[in-house]
Amino acid sequence: MLKVAIVGGTGYTGVELLRILALHPQAEVVYITSRSEEGVRVADMYPSLREHYPALTFSNPDARELGVCDVVFFATPHGVAHSLAAEILATGCRIIDLSADFRLQDVALWEQWYDQQHGAPELVDEAIYGLPEVNRKDIAEARLLAVPGCYPTSVQLGFLPLAEQGLLNGQNLVASCVSGVSGAGRGVKLGSLFCESTESVKAYGVQGHRHLPEIRQGLTRAAGQPLELTFVPHLVPMLRGIHATLYTEEVDLGIDVQALYEQRFADEPFVDVMPAGSFPETRSVKGANMCRIAVHRPENGNRVVILSVIDNLVKGASGQAVQNMNIMFGFPEEAGLQTLALMP
């Protein structure tokens, strides 16, 4: 049985890891940390998990104790994994980081967008970007893995088949995306309060969002050339979910875009290309590690519109992290991730 540790277990991604791993046939959470909740039992904080974690208690993070485990998940704000990663890796333990600490390969760019000095630049080249649909082979060998962000997951998967075939116009890519309030995290923030977010939709980060350089990095790799993207995120009054509406122009009119997407993702267990003319809904992926995609060509012209939906806490975070763990340790990729979407 794989011994698993979670650093930062009280946030939404931390409790999602607990929920998913509770039903994993080959992994057991044996250590979980929270500086603010030291000594509190998981069962007391999250009654929904009582039968699965009756004795597991939050502790302060200790690199030596973490290193006894086989894998450590960091479900923490950016900057935390920097301080512990090298010491943990030295024990032979592997790391799956859900924060942004190792997603960007350009250290200066990371420091620019996250407004602080990078705490572990010597590890950046080793970090593998954990988008399974692109990096499955490298993920299997990774010691340090960076789980993609939620917006970058939905946008990159949506554009990926076109990017790989050289069919994107690098100057005319647009991603208009909406996210549920859980994307802001569990901490108390004015904009996330019920009275502030309900019955309203607002854009944010239009001048620049931290996920933008991550999306550009991934799409540039896929296309083999620099791509420009206008990315506009929006907050909508729902708990979970991301809906990305993606636009590109000047696609070869001789290409059957529907067939291209179906062929590219035919063997991917967690990407569902829907029938032509479909409109995927966020509720169709709520609680599931699935990305549903639909492609449209309005008026059969040269513009393609891609619709991509995920649960931001599952395929956009903790579910994708477990998917990566499965690949890293040679488990069936679907292990622990068979949960179907919740309806209604």
Question: What pTM does this model have?
Answer: 0.96
Q: Which pLDDT band, with edges at 50, 70 and 90, does 306 fall under?
A: very high
**Which tens digits make up the pLDDT trace of 119-139?**
999 999 999 999 999 999 999
Q: Which domains does the chain have, with CATH numbers?
A: 2-126 (3.40.50.720), 151-312 (3.30.360.10)
Across 189-214, average pLDDT: 90
pLDDT score for 169 = 76
- Cβ distance 231 to 177 under 8 Å? yes
* Residue 244 scores a pLDDT above 80: yes
The pair of three-digit structure tokens given for residue 175, joined into one six-digit string: 């991603």
The verdict on whether 150 is a catalytic residue reads yes
Exposed, middle or buried: residue 157 (CB in 10 Å: 0-12, 13-18, 19+)? buried
What is the predicted pLDDT for the residue at 184?
78
Q: Could you report the per-residue pLDDT of 257-301, keeping only the tens digit for each?
A: 999 999 999 999 999 999 999 999 999 999 999 999 999 999 888
CA 219 to chain centre: 15
Provide mean pLDDT across the span 70-74: 98
Which range has the worst mean pLDDT, 168-182, 208-222, 270-284?
A: 168-182
CA dist., res. 88 & res. 14, Å (int): 19
Structure tokens at 111: 């420091």
pLDDT of residue 12: 93
Give me the amino acid identity at 27.
A
69, 150, 177, 291: the active-site residue? 150
**Mean pLDDT over all residues of the chain?**
94
